[in-house]
Structure 1
Amino acid sequence: MFMNNDISGLNPHEVWTHFQSLTRVPRPSGHEENIREFMTAFGRNLGLESIVDEADNVIIRKPATAGMENRQGVILQAHLDMVPQKNTGKIHDFTTDPIETIVDGEWVRANGTTLGADNGLGVAAAMAVLASTGLQHGPIEALFTSNEEAGMSGAMGLKAGVLMGEILMNLDSEDEGELFIGCAGGVTVTSTFSYSEHALSDNYRGFRISVTGLMGGHSGLDIHLGRGNANKIMNRILYEGHIGYGLQLASIDGGSLRNAIPRESFALAALPEAMADGFLDRLSLLSATIKDELRAVEPTVKIDAVSVPLPETAIEPAVFLRFMKAIYACPNGVMRMNRAMEGLVETSNNLAMVKSANSTITVDSLLRSSVDSARVDLELMITALFDLAGAGSVVDGGYPGWKPNPESPILKIMQDVFQRKFGKIPVTSAVHAGLECGIIGGVYPALDMISFGPTIRYPHSPDEKVHISSVGKFWDLLVAVLVDIPVKNL
């Protein structure tokens, strides 16, 4: 293993060179000014029409190569932003620092942070097509959407009449050898508890309780793996501490993104001096129990409580207890599997963030489902639960799913090309993640859409990595399919 910020020597050279350039441009969700400027300059330096629309999407158009002018237009779509996650103790500012890449055997990963292969490799592949001088293709539009990971606002802000192509290839899937023709829709439920604070007397001892070392991951792609949820684990600790030992909560900070399984949670708490040692003994036993329960999926989970200066105030006990009971009761993980596609999750919830500030505790849940009625049912379940607990809830950030079309013409073309190139039939599936296809298809209902990409594991976590050889297969498939795009419908 070696650290290597120059990954451009990997094959295919044209894709990895562009991905390397992306790792040097900070692009966390919500801080995409630099990457927009970078991409528009990239397009204009190639002499291509390059625009930024009202929703901060970058669109670059490339004319067809000679003899391909009558082919249907292809939209290569990927998102510019990346999820900013890092390991505890890792010093990295995602708004200013480049990503440090590591070649680790057959994989490329980052040094203690997310890699940005989601969706940087899709962006890099589209850049390689735009920059190519030897590829054959019809008219190309590259649609680089903004803020996908934090709400899909770029796709939602896309206007009708802007795109000209007939076929959309979403380059944001993460299993090479699979073609995706559907995805789940989603919505965020934010529930808020209001509280007053009371002073803590000197006969209390302060503690900082931490849950760290969890794997986290993508709240759609990894939700079925049964990984630990730091918010659920922390709540279990706080509840036992409060009921059995009189623990009081001063503040809590769990999770960081709605679409990432929470890896860490931190609480500032206080215990009566007479009960503190008993709580620590109980926490040691509870920690061992939790580690044993999660041993197969979370071998590095760590639970600590360290003495800190006593906080001045704590959350009023009545609200604290209602909050804990609500978190205990809130569903998390897979709710229902898809009956039509084996192994595919239909409906899930990610109890994503729990945070206190300014006399409020906010709880963010990201609900996903490929069945709209099931998503609404889960939404009502969660809002009813928090309503009973005395919290108000707001439902926001909803986006539609993408209904599979097994008769899609581009699917048939890609199946034929894949079998011709690789000697086997690709897997056709849907994904329990939120692709932008559903949103874009709502604005452009005539688009024929498909999604594919290289093999990426553990996206949305610092363990994110991409399989090197899968990038070559992904690129070879894309190049070959562009040659086989049919002529325009008259």
Structure 2
Amino acid sequence: MSEDILRLEPQEVWKYFYSLTKVPRPSGHEEKVRSFIADFGKNLGLETTVDDIGNIVIRKPAVTGLESREGVVLQAHLDMVPQKNGNTDHDFEHDPIEAVIDGDWVRADGTTLGADNGIGVAAAMAVLASTTLVHGPIEALFTCEEETGMTGAFGLKAGQLRGGILMNLDSEDEGELFIGCAGGLEVTVILDYDKRPVPEGHAGFMIGVSGLKGGHSGMDIHLGRGNANKIMNRLLYYGHERHGLKLASIEGGTLRNAIPRESKATVVVPAEQSRCFLDELAMFSQIVQRELAVVDSGLRVITVPVETPEYIIENSVVSRFLHMFYALPDGVMRMSDEVPGLVETSNNLAVVASCDGALKVECLLRSSVDSARDDLGIMIRSVARLAGAEPVLSGSYPGWKPDPESTILKSMRDVYKAKFGKAPEIKAVHAGLECGIIGSTYPGLDMISFGPTIRYPHSPDEKVHIASVGKFWNFLVEALRNVPEV
């Protein structure tokens, strides 16, 4: 990693972000970063607690004279999304992130950067470590496993926090203050299958879909980017209907909250159909490439001969699966009537896999309207049941209803305008910020979310805008200085 990052401004934030890149922290494997943050708090002599679920709370007293200010909870999550390019050799559980300066941005070398939410964590650390900032009582809440189900937010117990204001440092557009977010629901669909021997006279092929941009399934779902799983299903369906294609295995996508960028499948087709199958599949691939030429021009589809697999998946199950997947909704279902430009309800067909005698589909539904979220879940369940599967709906979490009269919103809006000469944009976001969950445990908590400009989170193209980190930090410092009294 280039240590030039340590010379970026504000140095007090970048030095902690640099240190975080050296600590492996993929979702579900946060032991090292948890120890790192807990030791950081203790070494500062601050009250530091780690709860049973793995959240960390570090408390810092108010500076002299500001003890009567409302207590502020600075909240960020410890984990990062572990995504890498297919040709990148990286072990997220052991290897540091190789971050580089690229013009006005910091990005990683072939992997996710972890600016989501590493910049927020680094900013909270800088506040805790500072001996010059002016602020009232501070609590830093570092939650765990946000990216894989918001485990830390769900596990946070009443009484752990004392402050009356929560500043979530996990938004991705500098100059915007977020006062609401979508809730979510996870759906898993499983079709059991039996293995069958490969019929005589069949040739094996590997089909690969790659080169898509992917992205965050909440922030980027409205951009119309290609879903590798949907594209793969179209190709398989075409081959199955036209050329007797039989499926041996499939694997696409890795995380529920990342739009799938890659998918691969091993198939067999009758040998006498092979040439025609390859020619027509190439032609059909070009059709899909033209469809996505504007929004996802990097799409690549390859088909290469492979050894005939040991077995295939029962063909009747494959047929039901392909029809089911074709019918499952993906992308934006409805735009918000109240907030122009905001997605209300969406679904991400995130993960497809064949393993241990089961074809599995994992979805993440989002909506700012709980009833619409539940209705979409029933729609997916109904389609799955028609295919003979019994889906599991789980992990439901509430949205965060905007409060335009929020005290901290008014304070921070005034601070931003005074400092930067323009008013910030006030928005809600189609993503599952932890605010909704935390707010359900702490009703009455005055919440706001903001952050620097981050692009392409949850993908190896993730990058953070350098200058926006400086504005984010300066705004945070001034906002803390101006927190209202209790």
Give TM class, smaller chain: over 0.9
> Structure 2 residue aligned with 1:56, among 51, 54, 75?
54
d(CA) in 2 for partners of 1:342, 1:26: 39
d(CA) in 2 for partners of 1:317, 1:190: 22
d(CA) in 2 for partners of 1:201, 1:436: 51
Q: Give the 5 Å matches for 1:133-212.
A: 133-212=131-210
- 1:286 aligns with 284
The code of the aligned residue for 1:232 comes to K
Q: Give yes or no for contact 1:5–1:101 (8 Å, CA) kept in 2.
A: no
- 1:422 aligns with 420
- 1:340 to partner: Cα distance: 1.3
Q: Deviations over 1:30-60 (max 9, x none)?
A: 0000000000000011011111101100110
- 1:486 to partner: Cα distance: 1.4
d(CA) in 1 for partners of 2:4, 2:80: 20
d(CA) in 2 for partners of 1:456, 1:382: 32
d(CA) in 2 for partners of 1:312, 1:29: 34
d(CA) in 2 for partners of 1:185, 1:230: 24
d(CA) in 1 for partners of 2:202, 2:209: 22
d(CA) in 1 for partners of 2:119, 2:292: 32
Query: How high is the TM-score relative to the length of structure 1?
Result: 0.98
Q: Could you tell me the percent identity over the aligned residues?
A: 63
Q: For 1:365, what is the secondary structure of its paired residue?
A: strand
Q: Give yes or no for contact 1:214–1:230 (8 Å, CA) kept in 2.
A: yes
Q: For 1:392, what is the secondary structure of its paired residue?
A: coil
- 1:63 to partner: Cα distance: 0.7
Q: Which runs of 5+ in 2 are unaligned?
A: none
Q: For 2:7, what is the secondary structure of its paired residue?
A: coil
d(CA) in 2 for partners of 1:252, 1:215: 20
The code of the aligned residue for 1:460 comes to H
Report whether the alignment pairs 1:468 with 2:466: yes
d(CA) in 2 for partners of 1:5, 1:353: 36
- 1:5 to partner: Cα distance: 4.6
Query: How high is the TM-score relative to the length of structure 2?
Result: 0.99
> Structure 1 residue aligned with 2:11, among 10, 13, 29?
13
- 2:22 aligns with 24
d(CA) in 2 for partners of 1:300, 1:181: 35
- 1:6 to partner: Cα distance: 4.3
d(CA) in 2 for partners of 1:258, 1:375: 16
- 1:287 to partner: Cα distance: 1.2
d(CA) in 2 for partners of 1:6, 1:85: 24
- 1:274 to partner: Cα distance: 0.5
- 1:330 aligns with 328
> Structure 2 residue aligned with 1:311, among 304, 309, 312?
309
d(CA) in 2 for partners of 1:198, 1:418: 65
Q: For 2:391, what is the secondary structure of its paired residue?
A: strand
- 1:233 aligns with 231
> Structure 2 residue aligned with 1:79, among 77, 80, 83?
77
CA RMSD of aligned residues (A): 0.7
d(CA) in 1 for partners of 2:407, 2:124: 21
The code of the aligned residue for 2:79 comes to D
> Structure 2 residue aligned with 1:444, among 439, 442, 445?
442
The code of the aligned residue for 1:142 comes to A
d(CA) in 1 for partners of 2:298, 2:157: 46
The code of the aligned residue for 1:463 comes to D
- 1:28 to partner: Cα distance: 0.3
The code of the aligned residue for 2:284 comes to L
Q: Give yes or no for contact 1:160–1:444 (8 Å, CA) kept in 2.
A: yes
Q: Which runs of 5+ in 1 are unaligned?
A: none
Q: Give yes or no for contact 1:5–1:100 (8 Å, CA) kept in 2.
A: no
- 2:402 aligns with 404
- 1:201 to partner: Cα distance: 2.8
> Structure 1 residue aligned with 2:272, among 271, 274, 284?
274
